[in-house]
Amino acid sequence: MNREQFLSQLEKLHIHLTDEQLHQFEIYYQTLIHWNEKMNLTAITEKGEVFLKHFYDSLTIVREFPWSLAENFTVCDVGAGAGFPSIPLKIAFPHIQVSIVDSLNKRINFLEELVTTLKLTDVHLYHDRAEIFGQNPQHREKYDLVTARAVAKMSILSEFCLPLVKPGGYFIALKGASGEEELEEGKKAIMTLGGNISGVQSFILPFENSERTIIHIHKAKSTPKKYPRKPGVPTKNPL
């Protein structure tokens, strides 16, 4: 994916980047590759593939979300790794407020430098387990949108993410070809945690032609207080 293709595909998503925003994506790529020499952030390093499989892929979340991006719109990215999808979202929609939680401090260190280099504001980084973060009163049921990309199966991921979504908000999972199968296995967990499945969209990633699935869940009611359970329990014993 070259520069023109990147811009053209984003326009189809009704995302129109300024020269400054496009430059931020260029700096993002350079910073990612520099840090990737020191730690494993991504197996994808070729520039066109990073722009397609990380940057564009992250922004496809707007296919399934009714963006009413008010000034105080809050997004929490669980297990963001190298910042996907939240940092591309922040670049494209600079006025949103972003919180990122990741269990590996090295990744948080990378994100701290990235946020500073890109001169992003209203981005908050937390080194924590999702199970502990979701029980923290400062974050529990505080976010308009919670996202996750390639973190865990839906039966587990829902317990990490739905406790953070405010009632009336949304949890959106970005998945590959197995997304609908995972969703079928995760329906019980989603309902138990207060969510309703409101949309599933499958599509083919352009140029590369691999299948993607976006799962859109509405938070219909508060999550029972006992969720998320203690660290490690959701993974070992999914709902």
Q: Is 49 annotated as a binding residue?
A: no
* Per-residue pLDDT tens digits for 89-109: 999 999 999 999 999 999 999
The pLDDT, as a whole number, for residue 174 is 94
pLDDT tens figures, 116-125: 999 999 999 9
Is 140 annotated as contributing to ligand binding? no
- Percentage, residues of the chain above pLDDT 90: 87
Say how many CA atoms lie within 13 Å of 66 toward its Cβ: 7
Give residue limits of the domains in the chain.
Answer: 3-236
Reduced to 3 states (helix: H, G, I; strand: E, B; else coil), residue 232 is coil
Residue position matching structure tokens 């070992």 = 236
Kindly indicate whether the domain formed by 3-236 is annotated with CATH number 3.40.50.150. Answer: yes
| Per-residue pLDDT at 70 | 65
Low-confidence stretches of the chain (pLDDT beneath 50):
none
| Burial of residue 237 (number of CB atoms within 10 Å: 0-12, 13-18, 19+) | exposed
Please check if 186 is assigned to a binding site.
no
Q: Is 83 annotated in some ligand binding site?
A: no
Q: What is the pLDDT of residue 216?
A: 94
**CB 210 within 8 Å of CB 172:** no
Cα–Cα distance for residue pair 158/66, rounded to 1 Å: 20
Helices (H) and strands (E) in the chain, counts: 10, 7
Amino acid making up residue 221: K
Token pair for residue 84?
């996907």
The whole-number pLDDT of residue 123 equals 97
User: Are the C-beta atoms of residues 157 and 204 closer than 8 Å to each other?
Assistant: no
149 assigned ligand-binding residue: yes
Distance CA 216, CA 38 (A): 35
**What pLDDT does residue 77 have?**
97
